Amino acid sequence: MGTPYQHQASLRGVGCDCLGLVRGVWRGLHGAEPEAPPPYRPDWAELGGRELLLEALGRALAPLDLATAQPGDVLVFRMAPDAPAKHCAILSGPDRMIHAYWGRACVESWLGRWWRGRCVAAFRFPEVGT
């Protein structure tokens, strides 16, 4: 935590965005990433209309029911009702999440009603060694 927000970055202590946080955790657990994301703009979700974030996470992580999410699992958020999901975080405890916050840093935040109402999916990292 405390890593500055930097669009498209994924290096602890240097910079990360929300996807970069997940990518950095993957590398810490498993080494090389299964795929690197292509360059993307901050407004990528609004431009394409496809569920690119959900598709990419589904290729690398195990999808799970939101009700079964545990600390360490990835949460995905849809910021507007008719838009693709575009934000992710890591559940850190009951009602807490770690995410990269635009204009700020990688922080632990309260997972309150506002965020829960936008949470649309959860994923689990594979076990180390698999």
Take residue 22 and report the two structure tokens written for it: 């997940």
CA angle 41, 82, 117 (to 5 degrees): 100
Nearest to 44 by CA among 17, 21, 72, 70: 17
pLDDT at site 46: 63
**pLDDT tens for each residue of 62-114:** 999 999 999 999 999 999 888 899 999 999 999 999 999 888 999 999 999 99
Beta-bridge mates of residue 5: 16
- Average pLDDT over every residue of 45-74: 91
So what's the architecture of 10-124 in CATH? Alpha-Beta Complex (3.90)
Domain extents in the chain:
10-124
Q: How confident is the model at residue 10 (pLDDT cuts 50, 70, 90)?
A: very high
Give residue 70's identity as a one-letter amino acid code: Q
> Whole-angstrom Cα distance, residue 126 to residue 2?
26
Between these two residues, 47 and 111, which has the higher pLDDT value? Answer: 111
pLDDT at site 44: 64
Under 8 Å between Cβ of 73 and 84: no
pLDDT at site 13: 95
- Average pLDDT over every residue of 12-21: 96
Q: How confident is the model at residue 39 (pLDDT cuts 50, 70, 90)?
A: confident
Q: 35 exposed, middle or buried (CB, 10 Å; 0-12, 13-18, 19+)?
A: exposed
Mean pLDDT value across the chain: 93
Q: 6 exposed, middle or buried (CB, 10 Å; 0-12, 13-18, 19+)?
A: middle
- Average pLDDT over every residue of 46-51: 73
For strands 15-16 and 74-77, give the pairing: unpaired
pLDDT at site 64: 98
